[in-house]
């Protein structure tokens, strides 16, 4: 079955560490996205990518980095520069801006 897979489901980070969240899709979608979800804030766009080897900053890119070396993969790194990383992270993909498919999310907690 086609879909979008995020891993891990839960992730714990120590202060000062970088962590990488995985997102893989087998839908052959061109565009991929990372969103951060905090209570009452909705879905805020971190980064998005329309094609391989290209990506654009969203509204809250500071403290995050991404890469898009393969069409099916769009990993997100939460760097130590992100001062408040505890949140629920969602990855999504679309085909030409149509229906977005979301992964099941990764819940990141700073310990």
- CB 42 → another protein: shortest distance, Å? 4
CB of 108 to another protein, least distance (A): 15
101 makes contact with another protein (CB under 8 A): yes
CB atoms within 10 A of CB 13: 17
Whole-angstrom Cα distance, residue 93 to residue 62? 21
Q: How many angstroms separate the CA atoms of 57 and 103, rounded?
A: 20
Is there binding between residue 27 and another protein (CB under 8 A)?
Answer: no
From 2, 14, 40, 83, residue interacting with another protein (rule: CB under 8 A): 40
């Amino acid at each position: 079955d086609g879909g979008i897979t995020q891993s891990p489901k839960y992730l714990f980070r120590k202060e000062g560490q970088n962590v990488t969240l995985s997102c893989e899709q087998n839908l052959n979608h061109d565009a991929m996205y990372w969103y951060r979800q905090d209570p009452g804030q909705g879905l805020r766009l971190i980064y998005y990518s329309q094609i391989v080897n290209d990506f654009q900053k969203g509204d809250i890119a500071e403290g995050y980095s991404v890469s898009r070396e393969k069409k099916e993969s769009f990993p997100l790194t939460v760097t130590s520069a992100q001062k408040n990383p505890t949140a629920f992270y969602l990855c999504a993909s679309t085909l030409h801006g149509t229906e977005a498919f979301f992964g099941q999310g990764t819940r990141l907690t700073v310990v």
